[in-house]
Amino acid sequence: MERGDSQVRLRDWALGLTRQLLPIAQRMDAAHASGDYTAAVQAAVQGLQHPQTLPSARVLQAVKQDFDGSFVAFARAQSVLTKKAMLDTELAAAAQQEFANMARASWEAQRKVEDADTMPFDIYLQEYLSPRHLVPRQRA
């Protein structure tokens, strides 16, 4: 990367930026009685100094090591693990009831729409797929 007439490594440039952000983060922490802003800047510095600890580096390592370089295989495995974790997690009774109520309301709304239909489905489908609907409408 070029800075003026000299070359600078991207990591060094980023570390310089994070150093400049530190006093701002400290002021924000003081204003909000927090340590979160400083911690975020320090985490960024940590990631720049040790990129192998970043989530993206860990993903790349797992793809290479465990999935023969296939990101698709990695993503599929993560999907299976996530599905299992979600299915193994008990849904709170209140949430279950809310979803059941939403499902009933959805079915009722669908029934009302279907009851109000005046065109048989096969006619609707024929009209929907009609070539005359493929021509763009003229704008007025």
Token pair for residue 6? 């000299």
Q: Where are the domains of the chain?
A: 1-51, 54-89, 91-132
Residues 36 and 29: beta-carbon distance below 8 Å: yes
pLDDT at 2: 85
Residue 7 — φ and ψ, nearest 5°? Answer: -95, 140
Residues 41 and 25: beta-carbon distance below 8 Å: yes
Token pair for residue 39? 């911690």
CA distance 10 to 69: 26
Q: What is the pLDDT of residues 51-90, one digit of tens each?
A: 999 999 999 999 999 999 999 999 999 999 999 999 999 9
pLDDT at 140: 67
